[in-house]
Amino acid sequence: MPSSDGKERETMSTSLADVAKAAGVSNATASRVLANSDYPVTEETRQKVLKAAEALDYRPNLIARGLRTEQTACVGLIVENILSPFIPPITRGIHDYLRQHDYSGIIINADWDPVAETKAMADLARRHIDGVILVESYTRSSDEVARLIDKPHIFVHRLFNSLNPYSVVPDDRHGARLAVKHLAGLGHQRIAFINGPAGWDATINRLAGYQDELAAWNLPFDPTLVIRGDWEVQSGYSAAQQLLALQSPPTAIFAANDLMALGVVYAAQGAGLRVPEDVALVGYDNRDFSGFVRPALTTVRMPCEEMGWIAAESLLRLINQEVAMIEPVLVKGELVTRQSCGAIQGEWQFEPEQGSIIRRQYQEEGNLTAPAA
- What residue type is 113 in one-letter code? D
Q: How far apart are CA 22 and CA 40, in angstroms?
A: 20
Q: Do the Cβ atoms of 133 and 75 come closer than 8 Å?
A: yes
User: Taking residues 291-309, what's their average pLDDT?
Assistant: 93
- What residue type is 124 in one-letter code? L
Same domain flag for 83 and 194 = no
Of 340, 342, 233, 351, the closest CA to residue 291 belongs to 351
Q: What pLDDT, on the 0 to 100 scale, is given for residue 71?
A: 62
Q: How far apart are CA 219 and CA 191, in angstroms?
A: 9
Same domain flag for 139 and 190 = no
Lowest average pLDDT, out of 60-69, 97-106, 226-235, 343-352, goes to 60-69
370, with CB counted inside 10 A (0-12, 13-18, 19+), is buried
Task: Fill in the DSSP letter of residue 136.
Answer: S
Element (H, E) at 355: none
Burial 275-303 (b: 16+ CB within 10 A, else e): bbeebbbbbbbbbeebbebebbbbbbbbb
pLDDT tens-digit series, residues 249-279:
999 999 999 999 999 999 999 999 999 999 9
Same domain flag for 136 and 281 = no
Q: Do the Cβ atoms of 341 and 183 come closer than 8 Å?
A: yes
Boundaries of domain holding 27: 13-60
Q: How far apart are CA 361 and CA 90, in angstroms?
A: 17
Of 236, 76, 86, 254, the closest CA to residue 158 belongs to 86
Same domain flag for 185 and 294 = yes
More confident of the two residues 38 and 344 = 344
Please tell me whether residue 143 adopts helix, strand or coil conformation: helix
What's the total number of domains in the chain?
Answer: 3
Which of 22-31, 35-44, 75-84, 345-354 has the largest mean confidence?
A: 75-84
Residue 349 located in a structural domain: yes
Residue 28 located in a structural domain: yes
Task: Fill in the DSSP letter of residue 82.
Answer: T
Percent of the chain with pLDDT over 90: 52
Same domain flag for 194 and 340 = yes
pTM: 0.76
Lowest average pLDDT, out of 11-25, 119-133, 228-242, 326-340, goes to 11-25
Residue 3 located in a structural domain: no
